[in-house]
Amino acid sequence: MSKTASSKADRPPRLRLWASATALCFTAGAVGVFATGVATSFAADSGYSAADAARVGAVTAPTTDFSRPEPHENLAGGAGTFPGKPDAKSMSHPDATLDDPGVERFRLGFALFKKMWAQAPSSTQASDGLGPLFNARSCLSCHVSDGRGRPPEGETESQSFLFRLARTPVTDAERAALAAHEHLNFPDPVYGQQLQDQGVTGLKGEGRPVITYAEKVVTLTGGDIVPLRVPSYAITDLAYGPLDPATTLSPRIAQSLPGMGLLESIPEAAILAQADLQAKANDGVHGHPNRVRDPKTGAVVIGRFGWKAQNPTVRAQTAAALSSDIGISSPDAPDPYGDCTAAETACRKMPTGVQKRLGDTEAPDPILELLTAYTANLAVPARRDVDQPDVLAGKAMFYQAGCATCHTPKFVTARNAADPQHAFQLIWPYSDLLLHDMGEGLADGQQVGEATGREWRTAPLWGIGLAQTVNGYQAYLHDGRARTLEEAILWHGGEGERARNAYAAMEKSDRQKLLKFLGSL
C-alpha cells in the first residue's frame, strides 16, 4: 500500500473563493440560510468574516445549471483531493496539501493503523493489550484499504461486520442520564455495548452473529425487477448466558475513511442551517443533529461520525473503535478491559497491556494522536467523468428526485479549522450529517443519544463510486444488505421515500444516468 505524498509541484492549488459579482448572486436556497441570521453565528463558529459568509453562501448554493460541471467539482476533497489513478489504493493517500512533518505523522499513524495488537503479556510490550474480548486485531482488519466493510457471506466471515447492543432506558434516572447526554443508551448487562466474537487465548468469544436473508421484489417503471435482500439477525453460541430480553441488535459494517478531518471542519452553524432549511420547507424531510458529549472536553456538541452520528470528532471515533473493536484503552476511553462487563468475570481477571512507564492506558498519546492524524488526513479521491453528458444528466435527476435535500452536495470548511490543511476548503461530501427517519424497513430499534431506532445519519457519498475498485465488492447501507447502489436507493423509506419513489418512477434510461452520476462520486 502506497503511503507517499504527492510532490508539491503536483499538488492542486489551495482553493480560493472569489467574491465576484456572479458569486454574490444568491439562489433561493442560499438566501434561506443567511436570511435567518446564521451568518452571524457562522462568524463565531467558523472564523468567517461577513464577506466570507456571503461568498460561502453563494458558492454552496444549490446549482440550477446541469449543462456543465460546477467550478472545482472534480476536487471532491478540496485542495487536498487525491488526483491520481482510481485504483485499489485510491482511498489510502494523504491529504495532498500536508507539509513534510504532516506526511511523517500520517505515515506513523498508518504504522499504528495496521499494527496487530497482541495478548498481554507479550514480548513486545508496546503491542500489549488486545481484548480480552475483541472483534479485530487491527484497524486495517475492518477498514481494508481504508474502504467500507461487508456482512458475512455464506461461510465467509467478516471482521468488518458487528452487532451493537443496547436497550432503552427503563427508569427515570436512566432517562435523565440520557437527557443530560451522560449516556448514549444502556448496554446489555452481560455482553455490554457490542458483541465481541473473539477472545484471547483461554477466553471464549461472546457469540457469533448470524444473518439469514429473505427476498422481496420491487418492480420499476418499464417492468424491470429488482430483488432486495431482507435480513434477519440472531446470535448463536452465546458463551456467557442469554441476552437481556430488552437488548436490541444493531448490525453495522465499517465505513470508508477518506475526508473525515474535512467533515469535522464543517462549521456547526452550517449543519444547523441545513436542518433549519429542511424544517422550513415542510416537505416531509426534517433532519436534526445528534447532540453528544465529547469524551475529551466534556462539552455537548454535534455528532458527525458513525452510523448514528454518535461521535463528535475523529479522535472520539478512533478512541471508541480502539476500545470496542480491539479492546485497547486510550486517554478518551481508559478502561483496559474494553467492553468487558463486570458480569464477565473471567475477562476482568485477564492481564492488561497497561505499561506504567508508557502511561495509564494501552494506547496513550501520542498513539491516539497519531492514529487520529492518519484517519483525519486520508485524502478524498477526485471525481471522475464530471463533464460527461450522462453524468450531468444523472446529476440533474439526483436533484430533481430530491436526493440532494439530505445528501447535501457541498460545504465550505471553517477558516479556524484545527488543522490548517482543512481550513476554508470547498468540499463535496454529499451529506448533511443530520439524522433522518429512514422508515421501518431500515429500522434497528436502537436509540443512540438523540437518534431513534428508525434514524440514521446521512451517509456521505464521496468515494462511493469506487467501492468495487477499492474493496472488490459492493455493500451499502448500515448493514451491507444492498449489493448495488440501486438496491440502496430502493431501501429508502420514511423521509427518503419520496426520493425513492421518484427514482422508481423514472424511465430506465434516466435511472441509468442517475446511477452513472453516483458512480462518478
The string of DSSP letters for 292-323 reads EE-TTT--EEE--BTTTT-BSSHHHHHHHHII
Helices (H), 377-496: 389-400, 403-406, 467-471, 485-490
Using the Cα atoms of residue 30, residue 31, residue 37 and residue 40 in order, give the sign of their dihedral.
Answer: positive
Parse the chain into domains and list their residue ranges. 130-255+293-364
Q: Please check whether residue 367 is in contact with residue 336, taking contact to mean a CB–CB distance below 8 angstroms.
A: no
Reduced 3-state DSSP string for 95-115: CCCCCHHHHHHHHHHHHHHCC
Predicted local confidence at residue 500, as pLDDT: 98
Q: What is the pLDDT of residue 125?
A: 77
100: its cell numbers: 513534510
Residue 43's pLDDT is 60
- Residue written as grid cell 430480553: 245
* Parallel, antiparallel or unpaired: strands 435-437 and 426-427: unpaired
- The residues near 16 (Cβ < 8 Å, ≥ 6 apart) are none
336: its cell numbers: 483496559
pLDDT score for 271: 97
Do the Cβ atoms of 237 and 125 come closer than 8 Å? no
- Before 420, cis peptide (omega within 30)? no
pLDDT of residue 377: 98
* Crossing angle of the two packed helices 367-376 and 314-321, in degrees rounded to 10: 120
Note whether 332 and 368 are within 8 A (CB).
Answer: yes
Q: What sign results for the dihedral spanned by CA atoms 298, 299, 303, 304?
A: negative
Specify whether the CB–CB gap between 212 and 358 falls below 8 A.
no
Extended strands (E) in 388-508: 411-412, 426-427, 435-437, 455-457
User: How many Å apart are CA 407 and CA 150, to the nearest integer?
Assistant: 22
Side chain identity, residue 38: V
pLDDT at 358: 85
| Among 509, 481, 502, 506, CA closest to 403 | 502
Phi, psi of 162 (to 5 degrees): -155, 170
Omega prior to 132 cis, within 30 of 0: yes
Tens digit of each residue's pLDDT, the chain (521 residues): 444 343 333 334 343 333 322 222 223 333 334 333 344 456 668 999 989 999 999 999 999 999 999 999 999 999 999 999 999 999 999 999 999 999 999 999 999 999 999 999 988 878 899 999 999 999 999 999 999 999 998 767 789 999 999 998 999 999 999 999 999 999 999 999 999 999 999 999 999 999 999 999 999 999 999 999 999 999 999 999 999 999 999 999 999 999 999 999 999 999 999 999 999 999 999 999 999 999 999 999 999 999 999 999 999 999 999 999 999 999 999 999 999 999 999 999 999 999 988 899 999 999 999 999 999 999 999 999 999 999 999 999 999 999 999 999 999 999 999 999 999 999 999 999 999 999 999 999 999 999 999 999 999 999 999 999 999 999 999 999 999 999 999 999 999 999 999 999 999 999 999 999 999 99
Q: What is the pLDDT of residue 124?
A: 81
Which phi and psi angles does 39 have, rounded to 5°? -55, -35
Long-range interactions of 314-321: CB distance < 8 A, separation 24+: 314/260, 314/261, 314/264, 314/372, 314/375, 314/376, 315/368, 315/369, 315/372, 317/260, 317/375, 318/368, 318/371, 318/372, 318/375, 319/295, 319/368, 321/139, 321/142
> Hey, what amino acid is at 269?
A
C-alpha cell at 227: 430483488
pLDDT score, position 123: 83
| Residue 304 contacts residue 255 (beta carbons within 8 Å) | no
| Inter-CA distances, 212 with 141, 229, 389, 439, Å | 24, 9, 41, 21
pLDDT at 41: 56
- Count of alpha carbons within 13 angstroms of residue 84, beta-carbon side: 20
Element (DSSP H or E) covering residue 250: strand 248-253
